[in-house]
């Protein structure tokens, strides 16, 4: 007896035929789940590059390889690049603000 999401399910894992069947199902599910996870995430990263820079960009970047580690590294490089651009803009904005905002106390003293 198994309880899943509060529901009781009856399955005799000690029956040889059922044990063989449950083993096959669990192996297939685990393999498919991992393979699906890898493929889904690789495709999501590839789609992001294609949407940002146009169709075919992912093919150029990944050379047709569908590998989760390669995709995650590429995505991390993209995120790092975006963050670097944002940091550069923040530095520029602070410099402009400092240059043109002036000191309020100094302006009052001049009056």
pLDDT at residue 106 in the model: 66
Residue with tokens 């995430």: 41
Helix 68-101 to helix 16-53 angle (10° resolution) is 40
What gap in Å lies between CA 111 and CA 9, rounded to an integer?
Answer: 84
Q: What tens-digit pLDDT sequence spans the chain (111 residues)?
A: 777 778 887 888 888 998 899 888 888 877 778 888 999 999 999 999 999 999 999 999 999 899 999 999 999 999 999 999 999 999 998 888 888 776 666 666 666
Give CA separation, 69 vs 58, 105, 108, in Å: 15, 56, 59
């Amino acid at each position: 007896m198994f309880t899943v999401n509060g529901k009781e399910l009856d399955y005799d894992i000690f029956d040889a035929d059922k044990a063989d069947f449950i083993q096959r199902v669990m192996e297939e599910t685990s393999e498919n789940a991992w393979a699906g996870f890898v493929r889904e995430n690789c495709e999501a990263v590839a789609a992001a590059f294609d949407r940002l820079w146009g169709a075919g960009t992912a093919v150029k970047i990944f050379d047709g390889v569908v590998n989760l580690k390669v995709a995650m590294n590429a995505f991390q490089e993209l995120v790092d690049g975006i963050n670097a651009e944002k940091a550069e803009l923040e530095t520029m904005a602070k410099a402009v603000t400092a240059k043109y905002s002036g000191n309020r106390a100094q302006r009052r003293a001049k009056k």
